[in-house]
């Protein structure tokens, strides 16, 4: 049997298919900032030369997506637990398509802006569900040796989506000046990845761990063997399936007769939900999404005053982000580990934001824009490009990888829903306030982000446990739900039963305790 990437080629294909929805995540969060900053858009909707009203519409167009995504993420936990990961993603993709169509057909006043708002809420609902379920689905299907790399592709796809949105906006602005196509074309482009994902999901298999969690063990081991390119009688498959079943049976018996409060606050679970919630609170206030959503506006603030200048600078930023994220995911995530990467990332980002804030304070852009950005503006742009490299090696991809790592199968969908809803809730807050912060704070905005990076994110990174190279089932040991010795006894019992052909659906951990 071939090794390496070819051994896991079916898992990579599954991730590639599921993560088309994550391209939507990146594209939809990046595209709106360029659209609302366009002169024709602003004049068409009567906000040109009215900074306060322009800030309001800008923040609304960007943030209503996050509002819809928040509710989509919360609802996905219950849908995913009921019908499985694959069908849930299919459902949310169809919801997204409805929202994308509404945005695309929007014209001018009086109803155009309402259609854009409504379409982005619906599309956001779809993206919220996809962003919650996709990393859980991919994580549950991935072997532990490459799980960080495969799950981390989530952030590569986000970065690709953002980069595409910048260049679509740049291309449209360069060739179209006075037409509603300025927003219709960028909004229509999002139909392409959504359509590919909707079709591609028909050709992938359900998560073996979810199947085992609902008692469909025969399908679970068949799907596991298919994904690993092994037979169902392979010792490796039998061992992995035994480990999955042992963890599920332990949790089922520990939770028997108990309500949802115990699932969230039971032994070893409360801290996991806290981490899932708080890691995304910090990520949203890292400054990256403010740059993501309003990159043209940010680059204008540091001296890239022409529309084409700011859009091109944003596009280069997108390229740097994609390349640096890909390099880290494929070569660094399983080498440096989660914890060290997050620490280096936090301190690197904070340092660069302090530098940008200091330069902007001492060398503000001239009131009369020169033909090309002054040296100080070019230096600040360079610092932003280096900053995104540090973001891409830690606080960009790793919160999703880490949260997908730490939850047991029966609560993973709830954990990812909490994480995703936290991400979207504070994403909404940041996207809503950023235009006003750029206008009011100026250079102090970067100092604020720098302080959060170093004091908040750096400290948090030092306190969380390392998860690199550990199976999903080992997380219960790390977080104190079960001891290593007790888990090994349960695995040995399950494996002996499988090797002797027992009915896996009828075995119980409690038999061992009698």
Please give the pLDDT value at position 345. Answer: 93
96 vs 31: CA distance, rounded Å: 15
**CA–CA distance, 488 with 479 (Å, rounded to integer):** 16
Dihedrals phi, psi of 60, to nearest 5 degrees: -65, -50
Residue 13 and residue 290: Cα distance in Å, rounded? 32
- In angstroms, the CA 264 to CA 472 distance is 18
Mean pLDDT of 492-499: 72
On the question of pLDDT at 294 being above 80, the answer is: no
CA distance 305 to 372: 9
Report the distance separating Cα 233 and Cα 507, nearest Å.
19
**Nearest alpha-carbon partner for 201 in 244, 154, 138:** 138
Q: What is the dihedral of CA 27, 56, 299, 451, to 10 degrees?
A: -90
The pLDDT value recorded for residue 351 is 95
> What are the tens digits of pLDDT across the range 379-394?
888 888 899 899 888 8
User: Which tokens in the block code for residue 179?
Assistant: 């037409």
Q: What digits encode the pLDDT tens for the residues 189-220?
A: 999 999 999 999 998 999 998 999 888 989 99
Total length of the chain: 514
Domains contained in the chain, CATH given: 1-204 (1.20.1250.20), 258-498 (1.20.1250.20)
Give residue 499's pLDDT band: very low, low, confident or very high (50, 70, 90).
Answer: low
**Each residue of 416-437: pLDDT tens digit?**
778 878 888 888 888 788 777 8
Which DSSP state fits 366?
Answer: P
The per-residue pLDDT for range 75-86, each reduced to its tens digit, is 888 899 889 999
Measure the CA–CA gap between 355 and 450, rounded to whole angstroms. 9
Closest of 451, 428, 280 to residue 353, by C-alpha: 451
Span 89-100, mean pLDDT? 95
* Mean pLDDT confidence for 384-407: 85
**Token reading at 343:** 């620490």
Confidence check: pLDDT of 255 > 70: no
CA 133 to CA 141: how far, in whole Å?
A: 12
Q: At what angle do helices 9-18 and 20-36 cross, to 10 degrees?
A: 30
Asked if 324 and 386 count as a contact pair (C-beta separation under 8 A), the reply is no
| Beta carbons of 395 and 352 less than 8 angstroms apart | no
Span 219-243, pLDDT tens digits: 999 999 999 888 888 888 888 898 8
Neighbours of 92 (CB within 10 A): 28
Nearest alpha carbon to residue 288 among 154, 165, 430, 131: 430
User: Is residue 258 over pLDDT 80?
Assistant: no
The answer to whether 379 and 435 have CB atoms below 8 angstroms apart is no
3 or 493: which leads in pLDDT: 493
Residue-wise pLDDT tens digits, 296-354: 667 777 777 666 677 777 788 888 888 988 888 777 776 788 889 999 999 999 999 99
Q: Which H or E run includes 389?
A: helix 375-392
366-382 CB burial, b ≥16 within 10 A, e <16: eeebeeebeebbebbbe
Nearest in space to 310 (alpha carbons), one of 37, 29, 8, 9: 37
Unique residue bearing structure tokens 């969230």: 264
Task: Give pLDDT tens digits for 20-77.
Answer: 988 988 888 778 877 877 778 888 887 766 667 777 887 788 788 888 988 998 888 8
Instruction: Report yes or no: 393 and 343 within 8 Å, Cβ to Cβ.
Output: no
For 386-419, letters b (16+ CB in 10 Å) and e give bbbbbbbbbbbbbbbbbbbbbbbbbbbbbbbbbb
- pLDDT at position 390 is 92
Burial of 52 (0-12, 13-18, 19+ CB in 10 A): exposed
Token representation of residue 39? 């002169």
pLDDT band at 251 (very low <50, low <70, confident <90, very high): low
Contact predicate 36/62, CB 8 Å: yes
Give the Cα separation of 65 and 467 in Å (integer): 32
Check if the beta carbon of residue 139 is closer than 8 Å to that of residue 19. Answer: no
Residue 216 tokens read as 């469909």
CA distance 73 to 420: 6
Indicate if the pLDDT at residue 185 is higher than 80: yes
What span, in angstroms and rounded, lies between the C-alpha atoms of 497 and 503?
A: 8
Q: Does 513 score more than 50 pLDDT?
A: no
d(C-alpha 7, C-alpha 1), whole Å: 7
As a whole number, mean pLDDT of residues 358-373 equals 80
Where is 167: in which H helix or E strand? helix 147-175
Distance of CA 315 to the CA centre of its chain: 20
The mean pLDDT value of the chain amounts to 82
* CB 404 within 8 Å of CB 151: yes
pLDDT band at 159 (very low <50, low <70, confident <90, very high): confident
> What pLDDT is recorded for position 409?
66
Place of tokens 């009688």: 233
Q: Give the Cα separation of 89 and 126 in Å (integer).
A: 9
Tokens of 459: 């400290």
């Amino acid at each position: 049997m071939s090794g390496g990437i070819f051994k896991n080629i079916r898992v990579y294909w599954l991730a590639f298919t599921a993560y088309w929805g994550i391209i939507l995540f990146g594209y939809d969060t990046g595209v709106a900032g360029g659209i609302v900053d366009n002169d024709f858009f602003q004049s068409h909707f009567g906000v040109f030369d009215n900074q306060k009203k322009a800030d309001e519409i800008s923040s609304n167009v960007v943030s209503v997506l996050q509002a819809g995504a928040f509710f989509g993420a919360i609802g996905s936990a219950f849908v995913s637990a009921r019908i499985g990961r694959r069908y849930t993603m299919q459902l949310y993709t169809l919801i997204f398509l409805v929202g994308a169509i509404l945005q695309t057909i929007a014209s001018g006043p009086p109803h155009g802006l309402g259609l854009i708002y409504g379409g982005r809420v619906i599309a956001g609902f779809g993206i919220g569900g996809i962003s919650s379920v996709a990393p859980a689905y991919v994580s549950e299907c991935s072997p532990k040796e490459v799980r960080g790399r495969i799950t981390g592709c989530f952030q590569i796809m986000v970065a690709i989506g953002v980069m595409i949105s910048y260049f679509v906006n740049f291309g449209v602005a360069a060739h179209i000046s006075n037409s509603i196509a300025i927003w219709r074309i960028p909004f229509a482009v999002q139909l392409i990845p959504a359509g590919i994902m909707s079709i591609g999901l028909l050709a992938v298999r359900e998560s073996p761990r979810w199947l085992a969690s609902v008692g469909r063990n025969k399908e679970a081991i068949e799907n596991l063997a298919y994904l690993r390119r092994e037979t169902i009688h392979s010792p490796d498959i039998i061992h992995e399936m035994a480990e999955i079943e042992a963890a599920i049976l332990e949790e089922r018996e520990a939770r028997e007769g108990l309500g949802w409060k115990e699932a969230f606050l039971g032994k070893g679970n409360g801290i996991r939900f806290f981490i899932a919630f708080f890691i995304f609170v910090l990520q949203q206030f890292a400054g990256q999404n403010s740059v993501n959503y309003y990159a043209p506006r940010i680059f204008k603030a540091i001296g890239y005053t022409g529309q084409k200048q700011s859009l091109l600078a944003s596009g280069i930023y997108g390229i740097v982000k994609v390349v640096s994220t890909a390099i880290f995911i494929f070569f660094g995530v399983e080498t440096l580990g989660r914890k060290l990467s997050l620490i280096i990332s936090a301190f690197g980002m904070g340092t660069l934001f302090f530098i940008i804030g200091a330069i902007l304070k001492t060398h503000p852009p001239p009131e009369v824009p020169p033909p090309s950005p002054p040296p100080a503006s070019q230096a600040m742009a360079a610092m932003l490009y280096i900053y995104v490299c540090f973001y891409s090696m830690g606080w960009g991809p790793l919160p999703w990888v880490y949260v997908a790592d730490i939850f047991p199968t029966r609560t993973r969908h709830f954990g990812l829903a909490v994480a995703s809803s936290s991400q979207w809730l504070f994403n909404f807050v940041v996207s809503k306030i950023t235009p006003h912060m750029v206008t009011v704070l100026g250079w102090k905005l970067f100092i604020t982000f720098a302080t959060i990076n170093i004091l908040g994110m750096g400290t948090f990174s030092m306190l969380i446990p390392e998860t690199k190279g550990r199976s999903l089932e080992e997380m219960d040991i790390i977080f104190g739900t079960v001891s290593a010795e007790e888990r090994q006894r349960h695995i040995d019992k399950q494996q002996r039963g499988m090797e002797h052909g027992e009915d896996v659906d009828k075995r119980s951990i409690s038999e061992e305790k009698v």
